[in-house]
């Protein structure tokens, strides 16, 4: 007779990733990838620090050097490998909610079963089946099992006959239901389908985007630190070549054949860089507004006119940033009003 196949235990999805998963698979490509960010005036961060050589980014004024480039590329590569590992088996929302609801049902059922125990069974539980005082060697196990919290004899006057096990299980069932309700409400507020009708997605991708999206986004950030304003969405251009080199360093696979990042490069580079410029405009206008308001105890007419102009411009920039943000983070759902405003702006434009 043919042998029955053994059931393979399915391991639960976890955030944890081993070093084997995370480490870049083609170490020799680290310096090759870094050449796309050069030339470097300084080799180490210490040398750059000594000369106060900082990146142009006001948000991240790091010491610009080859050492910094190598560190940042390795970080991007590790994050990509980690994302690639996590995405395929991450649970969908319906699986998460089903797990929680099952825990609630099981807790309710277990509590009900404990409540239905007869006194003889309760006595056997409390005495570890000895009928009397349990032997001392069982005390550690009984403490771990919290035997005293199990249902007691109906004649036991020292504590509730049902025991705290039952109360805790019922509370756990209630807590599981509250958790599902809150998670569902949070999903609805994020403008996602609470019924999870399907599609190539899961909770991880919905929150963090696809690994390829993250890789291109991270590479734009790094490239901007070393070559501000240079990146373009041109396929075959310098930035594209940098992304392919980082991909090959991370995975060990040839970038042109396996990376499949062209769509994201076309979609992301322009709106990401434009969004950053808009953000810089907002910062400058906000600083000007503060200067006018806080440095002038008595606001004259020209001050008030300038404040009105600034507020109108800030509102315009806010709308423009929202449109760009939606392009930059396509996996994040915006309020339906944003979509309606987008349509209106398209008609006007």
Q: DSSP states of 293-316 as a string?
A: HHH-SS--HHHHHHHHHHHHHHHH
What's the mean per-residue pLDDT of the chain? 87
Average pLDDT over residues 321-331: 86
Rounded Cα distance between 47 and 68, Å, is 11
Say yes or no to pLDDT of 337 above 70.
Answer: no
Average pLDDT over residues 31-52: 91
Q: DSSP states of 125-165 as a string?
A: HHTTTSSSSPPGGGHHHHHHTTGGGSPPPTT--SS-TTHHH
Helix, strand, coil proportions of the chain in percent (round to 5)? 65, 0, 35
Say yes or no to pLDDT of 59 above 60.
Answer: no
- The two structure tokens encoding residue 317: 């920039």
Q: Collapsing DSSP states into helix, strand and coil, what is residue 63?
A: strand
**pLDDT value of position 214:** 95
Average pLDDT over residues 327-337: 74
Most confident of 4-13, 258-267, 325-334: 258-267
- Structure confidence by residue, pLDDT tens digits, 133-182: 999 999 999 999 999 899 988 888 765 666 799 999 999 999 999 999 99
**pLDDT value of position 38:** 92
Q: Collapsing DSSP states into helix, strand and coil, what is residue 44?
A: coil
Residues 175, 52: contact at Cβ < 8 Å? no
Most confident of 63-77, 189-203, 308-322: 63-77
Say yes or no to pLDDT of 338 above 80.
Answer: no
**pLDDT value of position 341:** 42
More confident residue, 61 or 101: 101
Average pLDDT over residues 187-211: 85
**pLDDT value of position 7:** 53
Rounded Cα distance between 243 and 143, Å, is 57
Average pLDDT over residues 60-72: 85
Exposure on the CB side of residue 138, measured as CA atoms within 13 A: 14
Average pLDDT over residues 71-81: 97
| pLDDT band, residue 344 (cuts 50/70/90) | very low
Average pLDDT over residues 20-41: 95
Average pLDDT over residues 102-118: 95
**pLDDT value of position 57:** 59
**pLDDT value of position 32:** 96
Most confident of 60-64, 150-154, 215-219: 215-219
> What share of the chain in percent tops pLDDT 70?
88
- Structure confidence by residue, pLDDT tens digits, 269-314: 999 989 888 888 998 999 888 888 787 777 677 778 888 898 899 8
CA separation, residue 117 to residues 36, 153, 170 (Å): 72, 10, 16
**pLDDT value of position 271:** 92
The least confident of 13-17, 62-66, 148-152, 213-217 is: 62-66
**pLDDT value of position 276:** 85
Average pLDDT over residues 331-342: 57
- Structure confidence by residue, pLDDT tens digits, 218-267: 999 999 999 988 999 999 999 999 999 999 999 999 999 999 999 999 99
Q: Count other C-beta atoms under 10 Å from residue 26's C-beta.
A: 18
């Amino acid at each position: 007779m043919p042998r029955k196949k053994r059931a393979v235990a399915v391991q639960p999805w976890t955030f944890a990733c081993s070093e084997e998963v995370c480490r870049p698979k083609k170490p020799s490509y680290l310096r090759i990838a870094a050449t796309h960010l050069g030339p470097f005036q300084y080799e180490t961060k210490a040398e750059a620090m000594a000369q106060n050589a900082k990146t142009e980014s006001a948000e991240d004024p790091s010491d610009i050097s080859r050492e910094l480039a190598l560190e940042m590329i390795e970080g991007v590569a590790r994050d990509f490998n980690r994302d690639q590992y996590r995405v395929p088996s991450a649970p969908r929302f319906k699986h998460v909610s089903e797990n929680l609801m099952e825990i609630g049902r099981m807790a309710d059922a277990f509590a009900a079963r404990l409540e239905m125990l007869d006194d003889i069974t309760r006595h056997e539980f409390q005495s570890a089946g000895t009928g009397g005082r349990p032997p001392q060697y069982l005390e550690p196990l009984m403490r771990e099992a919290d035997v005293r919290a199990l249902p007691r004899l109906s004649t036991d006057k020292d504590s509730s006959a049902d025991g705290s096990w039952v109360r805790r299980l019922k509370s756990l069932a209630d807590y599981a239901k509250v958790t599902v309700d809150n998670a569902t409400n949070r999903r609805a507020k994020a403008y996602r389908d609470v019924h999870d009708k399907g599609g190539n997605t899961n909770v991880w991708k919905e929150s963090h985007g696809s690994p390829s999206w993250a890789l291109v986004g991270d590479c734009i950030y790094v490239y901007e630190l070393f070559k501000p304003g240079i990146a373009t969405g041109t396929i075959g251009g310098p930035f594209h070549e940098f992304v392919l080199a980082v991909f090959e360093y991370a995975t060990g696979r040839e970038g042109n054949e396996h990376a499949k990042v062209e769509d994201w490069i076309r979609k992301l580079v322009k709106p990401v860089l434009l969004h950053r410029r808009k953000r810089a405009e907002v910062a400058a206008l906000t600083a000007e507004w503060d200067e006018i308001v806080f440095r002038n105890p008595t606001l004259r007419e020209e001050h008030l006119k300038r404040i009105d102009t600034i507020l109108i411009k800030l509102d315009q920039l806010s709308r423009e940033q929202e449109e760009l943000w939606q392009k930059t983070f396509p996996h994040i759902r915006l309020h339906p009003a944003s979509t309606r405003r987008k349509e209106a702006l398209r008609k006007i434009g």
